Amino acid sequence: MEFLIPDFADPAVWISLVTLCFLEIILGIDNIIFISIVAGKLPLAQQRKVRNMGLLLAMVFRILLLLGINWIISLKDPVVTLPALGALSDKAIPLSYKDMILIAGGLFLIIKSTLEIHHKLSKDAAPEQKPKTDHKVNIGPVLLQIILIDAVFSFDSILTAVGLVESVAIMIIAVIVSIAVMMLFAGPVSRIVNKHPTLQMLALSFLVVIGVVLIAGGFHQEVSKGIIYTSLAFSLTVEMLNIRLRKKEQNIELNDSAPVDDK
Strand partners, 80: 95
- What is the spatial distance between Cα 189 and Cα 36, in angstroms, rounded to a whole number? 7
User: Is a pLDDT exceeding 50 seen at residue 168?
Assistant: yes
Inter-residue contact 248 to 147 (CB < 8 Å): no
Alpha carbon of 181 to those of 22, 176, 198: distances in Å? 10, 9, 26
More confident residue, 19 or 126: 19
Q: What is the pLDDT of residue 123?
A: 54
pTM of the model as a whole: 0.68
22-36, 80-94, 100-114, 172-186: least confident range = 80-94
Band (31; pLDDT cuts 50, 70, 90): confident
Q: What is the pLDDT of residue 120?
A: 75
Q: What is the pLDDT of residue 39?
A: 82
Q: Give the pLDDT mean for 21-25.
A: 77
Inter-residue contact 203 to 37 (CB < 8 Å): yes
More confident residue, 27 or 111: 111
User: Is a pLDDT exceeding 60 seen at residue 132?
Assistant: no
Q: What is the pLDDT of residue 219?
A: 85
User: Is a pLDDT exceeding 60 seen at residue 53?
Assistant: yes
Q: Give the pLDDT mean for 86-94.
A: 70
Could you tell me the end-to-end alpha-carbon distance of the chain, in angstroms, rounded to an integer? 83
Q: With pLDDT > 90 as the criterion, what percentage of the chain qualifies?
A: 0
Q: In the chain, where does DSSP find H-type helix? A: 11-27, 29-39, 44-67, 69-74, 97-121, 140-162, 168-195, 197-218, 225-257
More confident residue, 263 or 37: 37
User: Is a pLDDT exceeding 60 seen at residue 134?
Assistant: no
Band (88; pLDDT cuts 50, 70, 90): low
User: Is a pLDDT exceeding 70 seen at residue 136?
Assistant: no
Q: What is the pLDDT of residue 131?
A: 43
- Residue partners of 100: CB distance under 8 A and separation at least 6: 218
Q: What is the pLDDT of residue 85?
A: 65
Q: What is the pLDDT of residue 125?
A: 46
Angle between helix 97-121 and 140-162 (nearest 10): 140
Tell me the pLDDT of the chain averaged across its residues: 77
Inter-residue contact 174 to 157 (CB < 8 Å): no
